Structure 1
């Protein structure tokens, strides 16, 4: 439940729930589409170009200056699809609630964007970012955090084609929704975090390993109190609080090459300039061609965030492989999800959890 004393109204409230645009497919030659229920397709100038009921799964692609849906060709550079059935549009086997836009890109490639109201989006994010069985106050804290992040992105990307890449937040349309989660999102409807009455990028991660990091240290952004890092004694029960993994040097070199970083015959990898949570700000890679430094979180994402769990690691050269021994999972900035769950289990309410991980925030209702 919302504790009213913790919530402020942010001036004149929005008269309706804002919409967000989410990039689902980017710069691909093809994607899969299916539609359930009655649907309507409009062209670039909002004129109806097709309508029907139930479209079996088919490929979408670009050719001859237009968009192909199955065996039909539409001479438009953009199509918008709506279905009367909630969650009736399926893209790459995932169902979505909102309007779907198919846009031509260069070289006969396409992108697919969903436009939906932000509460439906947060409903889809919540069950993908946290286990649905977790404590309600941890889930409420996550809902407010994700909403704050999405609203911040909407603000700074106001005039862009899309506000959010689906990879920025775990989002699987309606796949991980439930009645319980929908009620939790509804409990916090319209509530976001602000600092000095400005919305900010509310980063979060799985497990910090003992201390969250300053946003300047990890992402090079201006440091503010809510993103400056705090001690965390709550995530020690996470299975990711400490870990060890062995990655072959050839696999590391291949991943780097895929990201246009060419290094061969790696000898060592070292996380340097550790922050308060021991996450390296930079990574130094020594090889036969000398040493190279790069942003530590960029390196982690190149190797794969599920392969190298964090940049808080020590590395040991094992000949053909490197053993990484580290703490935590994620970039380490903002809310620690396992810490939030532990705090909730200990009786902390969702507003208290947020004010712990994001010091000096205010909680405000914007719609």
Structure 2
């Protein structure tokens, strides 16, 4: 059957399928395209290894096998703009025929000849020359023998495949959709290794910004086998694993983009995907037992966001990003609090110089930082507005941007100390007219007041006059007398317990709760809910408001 007939036949089958299938489900196979960034070690080449001879597929709406490379190991390389090739004018309808002619030309002319595929047909190409002049000798020989040929430069539009003997066996145009795979008998599936890591499905390549980008074309359920154990611990309760599988499946299909080169990255930009070697029996089971199930709101797929640890409550999308999603609203999350997550509470310290650098790296021409102040928080405790007072004025960061700038684990944070400190004896000075700030610029509840030595006898009028600038050299007043602070850190006692603060005013200490953006499902919360007997659909409905699972 010719390639055209195959396409017509398969297209007819596809039309029938689309007419008889209302939505995604068990009756159809869904594929996703995932950019593989890890373990890629080079932007210009990638090593492929098969479990048998490597086959080449063209993938448009479906995978179609074109030919076999008769090798189980090849190296795929970006064809540099500096190389010229000789292009012969004749077209061939198969790789095998082009390869046969290439081998004949090699026997006659003694140079490297190889098939070239442009997406429609095959030609024969020759050589890798640094200039047109270098290609001139062979080009003249070909022309004298009656062959129509010319020297061409691909200009970062060509991809070359070398076999294990470092001989070119194929060049193809970047506009094609060629993918590589092999058959793995043990699993009875198509699978391929790239840079020694195995992936189910097919591995394709595109040139993006003069880089060779690898894209795994894989069926949805196989993709989830490599995602779920990398997004949640495979040792956790089965219901939490199922909740993660359904959320990950929903996220993947929601983010499918037929016209894009790829749908998702293999990292935290999308979902962490590590392929076949990362698969676990428990997470495979969770994927299988929820096969095809996804999360819907008002009969439409949701954006199934999830994060590690909520810290005690999740957040509404409009408070972190900008879009208001009715199914992703903040909920109380005592489950996450009880989960034992190591990220329930955290601390992070930066010097003034480090924050200045972060501001400059983000495009702010800042040379001096005077203070960092939180000016607005949500009802779910996350920072909405954070102001950096600098030599070029106040710089306002809103919502998630503040925590991303600072590199903090979540936007649920306080600034424990900075350029201005609020220290007071909580028994002596706390009254109705003197409320100690709880956010943005200070720490409260410290036993003993800190002032300059000459101010010991003066009456303190307000908290802001108690301390500004560094703590080192200040005098501590206590029931045992007065003494100067000379150490780099200061341990203080308050109703929250004992805290250790840096005494240098150029340091900023951040204390916070949770890990991640706080939207949607808390993974540690899901773990705790599973331990407390909740089913995976109950877990999902706790974190996503008004949804159905089907």
Structure 1 and Structure 2 fold alike (TM over 0.5): yes
CA distance in 2, matches of 1:270, 1:69: 56
Retained in 1: the 8 A contact 2:33–2:264? yes
Match of 2:332 among 214, 227, 231: 231
1:345 is aligned to 2:531: yes
- What are the within-5 Å matches in structure 2 for residues 129-278 of structure 1? 129-154=231-256, 157-166=257-266, 167-224=269-326, 226-236=327-337, 237-255=340-358, 257-258=360-361, 260=363, 262-278=365-381
- The 1:302/1:104 distance shift into structure 2, 3 A limit, reads farther
- 1:221, CA displacement in angstroms? 1.1
Matched with 2:32 is 20
Matched with 2:393 is 290
- 1:173, CA displacement in angstroms? 1.6
Matched with 1:314 is 414
Residues 55-106 of structure 1 show CA distances to partners (whole Å, capped at 9, x for unaligned) of 27x5743413312456547242154222223574334553311211111123
- The 1:68/1:321 distance shift into structure 2, 3 A limit, reads farther
Match of 1:100 among 203, 223, 232: 203
Matched with 1:3 is none
Question: SS at 2:334's partner residue?
Answer: coil
What is the root-mean-square deviation of aligned Cα atoms in Å?
2.9
Matched with 1:74 is 171
Which structure has the greater CA radius of gyration? 2
- 1:129, CA displacement in angstroms? 0.6
Matched with 1:52 is 70
- The 1:12/1:34 distance shift into structure 2, 3 A limit, reads closer
Matched with 2:542 is 356
Retained in 1: the 8 A contact 2:47–2:195? yes
Question: SS at 1:211's partner residue?
Answer: coil
CA distance in 2, matches of 1:32, 1:257: 36
Query: What is the TM-score with the length of structure 1 in the denominator?
Result: 0.84
Task: Name the structure with the higher strand share.
Answer: 1
CA distance in 1, matches of 2:356, 2:212: 30
Question: SS at 1:53's partner residue?
Answer: coil
Where in structure 2 are there 5+ consecutive unaligned residues?
A: 1-20, 82-153, 419-503
Match of 2:514 among 325, 328, 342: 328
CA distance in 1, matches of 2:403, 2:196: 28
CA distance in 2, matches of 1:278, 1:249: 25
Residues 120-161 of structure 1 show CA distances to partners (whole Å, capped at 9, x for unaligned) of 11111100011111011111111111111111112xx23222
Instruction: Compare 294-303 and 182-191 and name the one that shifted more.
Output: 294-303
Retained in 1: the 8 A contact 2:365–2:392? no
Retained in 2: the 8 A contact 1:148–1:202? yes
Retained in 1: the 8 A contact 2:44–2:77? yes
Retained in 2: the 8 A contact 1:22–1:113? yes
CA distance in 2, matches of 1:352, 1:76: 50
Which of structures 1 and 2 has the larger relative contact order (alpha carbons within 8 angstroms, sep 6+)?
A: 1
Matched with 1:34 is 48
Instruction: Compare 271-280 and 200-209 and name the one that shifted more.
Output: 271-280
- The 1:325/1:34 distance shift into structure 2, 3 A limit, reads same
- The 1:44/1:340 distance shift into structure 2, 3 A limit, reads closer
Question: SS at 2:180's partner residue?
Answer: strand
Residues 279-323 of structure 1 show CA distances to partners (whole Å, capped at 9, x for unaligned) of 22344333222222234424434554xxx2111111232545422
Residues 243-301 of structure 1 show CA distances to partners (whole Å, capped at 9, x for unaligned) of 10123444445455555555443444445532232122344333222222234424434
- The 1:189/1:210 distance shift into structure 2, 3 A limit, reads same
CA distance in 2, matches of 1:19, 1:186: 16
Match of 2:383 among 266, 271, 280: 280
- The 1:291/1:340 distance shift into structure 2, 3 A limit, reads same
CA distance in 2, matches of 1:49, 1:171: 29
Question: SS at 1:223's partner residue?
Answer: coil
Question: SS at 2:526's partner residue?
Answer: helix
Retained in 2: the 8 A contact 1:193–1:199? yes
Match of 1:110 among 205, 208, 212: 212
- The 1:12/1:330 distance shift into structure 2, 3 A limit, reads closer
Retained in 2: the 8 A contact 1:32–1:93? no
Retained in 1: the 8 A contact 2:321–2:399? no
- The 1:48/1:256 distance shift into structure 2, 3 A limit, reads farther
